[in-house]
Amino acid sequence: MGKVSSIRLKTSDEIALMRKANLIVAEVLSVLKNKIAPGMSTFELDRIAEEHCLDCGGLPAFKGYCGFPASLCVSVNEEVVHGIPSRKRILREGDIVSLDFGVLYQGFYGDAAITLPVGRISEKKTRLLQVTEDALYKGIAQAVPGNRVSDISQAVQSYVENAGFTIVRQFVGHGVGAQLHEAPEVPNYRSTDKSSPRLLEGMVLAIEPMVNVGTHRVKILDDHWTVVTEDSQPSAHFEHSVAITATGPYILSHREIRGDDPVVC
Ligand code: MG
């Protein structure tokens, strides 16, 4: 079986369920954005996320996934992704914090991430956050039927590198649906693989650029989860779950409500 045939296309009913899952994700991230402040522990953020998710009728998807011990991934400054919340990790003015959250709702997953400033941050970090979020939208703009996954990768990488930052290669975006991680992989860099999958209506992709100020290289800490930049310079991460539709990219994890959206929370 080829790569393309292992990609599961979603029906419009399934995409509607995924919109609900992702609306809960968006809601949780929005609550965290409003509450984050210097002096909070990353554990507190995890508690808020989990409680709010359960209140909305969703299940935290990351808790226990491959043994991950929390509901929310919290990655501070040089941490790229998969940071483990801790009572001991206190946020300070000037930090940047990547929050990645996943929800399981009626058999389908939602997945999104944002990077937030804590109080006032440096100009460089401000630019890093803006470039990373903009790069995500450059990638999303390519998520249309007929393009290839590599068109998304190319758009993200070019934008990031033209801005003077680097793109992480060791971790990539992914298909999402009845599984948290499905085919295809969605790299944020140009690959030499000429058979990059063609984008079809009904695919849902988690597009998630991870952008570094310094080297693109990363390493994993002894906790076996936390990914950090090799040179300890800051990193940012933005992610949306996006459905490929005939009328263009449908950002399922966008908080903005459309007329046909369900009330979830
Ligand atoms: Mg993801």
| Domain presence at residue 262 | no
pLDDT 10s digits, 47-106: 999 999 999 999 999 999 999 999 999 999 999 999 999 999 999 999 999 999 999 999
CA 65 / ligand 1 centre spacing (Å): 12
Domain interval for residue 186: 2-251
- What is the count of structural domains for the chain? 1
Rounded distance, CA 255 to CA 238, Å? 14
Percentage of the chain surpassing pLDDT 90? 92
CA 174 / ligand 1 centre spacing (Å): 7
Question: How long is the chain?
Answer: 265
User: The pTM is what?
Assistant: 0.96
| Domain presence at residue 257 | no
Q: Is 117 helix (H, G, I), strand (E, B) or coil?
A: strand
| Domain presence at residue 31 | yes
| Domain presence at residue 153 | yes
User: Quick one: the chain helix, strand, coil %, rounded to 5?
Assistant: 30, 25, 45
pLDDT 10s digits, 196-221: 999 999 999 999 999 999 999 999 99
| Domain presence at residue 23 | yes
Q: Which CATH number does the domain housing residue 196 bear?
A: 3.90.230.10
| Domain presence at residue 261 | no
CA 6 / ligand 1 centre spacing (Å): 18
| Domain presence at residue 265 | no
CA 173 / ligand 1 centre spacing (Å): 6
Please give the mean pLDDT across all residues of the chain. 95
| Domain presence at residue 263 | no
